[in-house]
């Protein structure tokens, strides 16, 4: 392929429109992109909405791995091997619009279009950094600080846009699963955050910028600063 063709490839247009090997799909809340154990034959690019990725153990216990938002890919394990299986379930949190890209087309465009390959590699590196930050968070920080970080991530602080942001609907049970604590502890922390003015809610939870103090500056009234700081939100 010539450098001229490479220079004219528009990754944004490719991800915004249907075409050969790719279709635009819409999912309602609680509908699934794929389930754990399904054949992994497609990658999804989330154009709008939020996605919850979960796994279920052999004993039936469900755990939330991560929450994804617009401009994220999901199902990238489809590229790892032919006839592989999805290791998790991806479920729409709210109404979602996504581009479904077949495995063959995804491999083709990554091979033929360096600009797209660079974009996808950047996503994978960012996801890896996020995973490492999540691990450090679980190992070294209190459940209260882990909850603060999850709320900030869900509110997409650090991304362009509003700085006083509502998060998607989510239960306290799900939040408890994500930070490794009990629902009652999450309820206690949420009430504390609300009294301190870090969040507010009237039907929906709104996260305020002041919550960053808990995570980045370790400023939580009544607590000392003995715990190691977690990695920045990525």
Q: State how far the Cα of 96 lies from the Cα of 93, in Å rounded to an integer.
A: 8
Give the least confident one: 45-49, 67-71, 125-129, 223-227.
223-227
Q: Across the strands, what pairs with 68?
A: 51
Residues with Cβ within 8 Å of 77's Cβ and at least 6 positions away in sequence, in order, are: 40, 84, 86, 87
pLDDT score recorded for residue 167: 87
- Neighbouring CB atoms inside 10 A of 107's CB total 15
Quick check: 7 pLDDT over 80?
Answer: no
Residues 47-103: tens digit of each pLDDT = 999 898 989 988 888 888 888 889 999 999 999 866 689 999 999 988 999 999 999
DSSP annotation of 231: P
Q: Which residue has the higher pLDDT, 178 or 47?
A: 47
Report how far residue 202's alpha carbon sits from residue 18's, in angstroms, rounded to the nearest whole number. Answer: 39
The phi and psi torsions of 114 (rounded to 5 degrees) equal -55, -35
As to burial, measured by CB atoms within 10 angstroms (0-12 exposed, 13-18 middle, 19+ buried), residue 213 is middle
CA atoms within a 13 Å half-sphere pointing along the CA-CB vector of 81: 6
Question: Could you tell me which residues come within 8 angstroms of residue 204 by beta carbon, excluding any fewer than 6 positions away?
Answer: 166, 167, 169
Structure tokens given for 20:
């050969």
- Answer yes or no: is pLDDT of 5 > 80: no
Q: Which pLDDT band holds residue 164 (cuts at 50, 70, 90)?
A: low
The per-residue pLDDT for range 14-53, each reduced to its tens digit, is 999 999 999 999 999 999 999 999 999 999 999 999 898 9
Burial class of residue 33 in the structure, from the number of CB atoms within 10 Å of its CB (0-12 exposed, 13-18 middle, 19+ buried):
buried
Average pLDDT in the 158-178 region? 75
Domains along the chain with CATH numbers: 3-132 (2.60.120.10), 142-216 (1.10.10.10)
Could you report how far apart the first and last alpha carbons of the chain are, in Å?
Answer: 34
Percentage of the chain surpassing pLDDT 90? 48
Q: Which residues pair with 27 in a beta bridge?
A: 96
Q: Which pLDDT does position 234 carry in this prediction? A: 40
Q: What is the pLDDT of residue 209?
A: 85
Token couple for 27:
């999912």
The reported pLDDT for the residue numbered 139 is 77
- Quote the pTM value: 0.75
CA distances for 79 relative to 51, 115, 209, angstroms = 20, 18, 38
In this prediction, residue 156 carries a pLDDT of 78
For helices 103-112 and 114-140, what crossing angle results, to 10°?
110
Mean pLDDT rounded to a whole number for the chain? 84
pLDDT at 113 over 70: yes
- pLDDT higher than threshold 80 for residue 138: no
Residue 188 has pLDDT above 60, yes or no: yes
């Amino acid at each position: 392929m010539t450098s001229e063709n490479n220079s004219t490839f528009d990754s944004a247009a490719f991800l915004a429109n249907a075409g050969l090997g790719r279709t635009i799909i819409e999912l309602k809340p609680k509908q699934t992109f794929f389930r754990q154990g399904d054949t992994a034959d497609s990658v999804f690019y989330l154009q709008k909405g939020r996605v919850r990725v979960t796994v279920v153990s052999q004993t039936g216990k469900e755990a939330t791995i991560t929450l994804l938002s617009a401009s994220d890919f999901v199902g990238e394990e489809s590229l790892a091997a032919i006839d592989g299986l999805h290791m998790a379930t991806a479920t729409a949190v709210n109404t979602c619009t996504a581009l479904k890209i077949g495995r063959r087309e995804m491999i083709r465009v990554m091979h033929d279009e360096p600009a797209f390959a660079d974009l996808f590699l950047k996503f994978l590196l960012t996801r890896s950094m996020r995973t490492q930050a999540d691990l450090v968070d679980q190992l070294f920080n209190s459940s209260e600080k882990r909850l603060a970080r999850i709320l900030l991530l869900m509110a997409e602080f650090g991304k362009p846009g509003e700085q006083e942001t509502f998060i998607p609907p989510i239960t306290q049970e799900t939040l408890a699963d994500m930070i490794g604590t009990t629902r009652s502890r999450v309820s206690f922390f949420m009430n504390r955050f609300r009294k301190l003015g870090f969040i507010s809610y009237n039907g929906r939870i709104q996260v305020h910028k002041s919550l960053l103090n808990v995570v980045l500056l370790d400023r939580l009234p009544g607590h000392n600063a003995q715990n190691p700081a977690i990695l920045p939100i990525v």
